[in-house]
Amino acid sequence: MSKLITTTKRAYLAGFLDGDGSIYVRLKPNPTYKYGFQVSPYIILFQSKKESENFKKICSLIDCGYIRERNDGILEYTINRRDEIIKFLKLIKPYLILKKEQAGLMIKILNQKNRVKSREDFNKLAELIDKFRELNYSKKRKRHNLTP
């Protein structure tokens, strides 16, 4: 992903994410992790397989992540690496409208994740992730109470 992307293309990508995309992060139970949970952040863009060529052009602007085809004929472009998510969001955040708050919170969560040094720090991170879920109107909202 290059900072050489024009402002017009940044705005286009922001609009695409606002309309046909998703930003989310979740805690997945995983006993191999220090505090029993894995932090899993994602940005996903969606498009019908019928628009495959155009979708690939759009995704090539981003130059990170990967495309997969779902069984229902929908293509998903997924970015799930911390540094790539932060770089992409910083590039398009000024142009987001609907998902601007989620983008800012995702950047905050990913930065805070690297500063976790204790159970208390991890609990604060979990609280931010819960706040994120509220922004996305999750139907399966779960509050994380991770105190020992």
| Residue of 19, 36, 63, 104 marked catalytic | 19
Of 18, 20, 121, 130, which is the active-site residue? Answer: 20
Find tokens 């790539």 and name the residue: 84
Does the annotation count 83 as an active-site position? no
> Whole-angstrom Cα distance, residue 99 to residue 95?
10
20 is catalytic: yes
Residues that are catalytic: 19-20
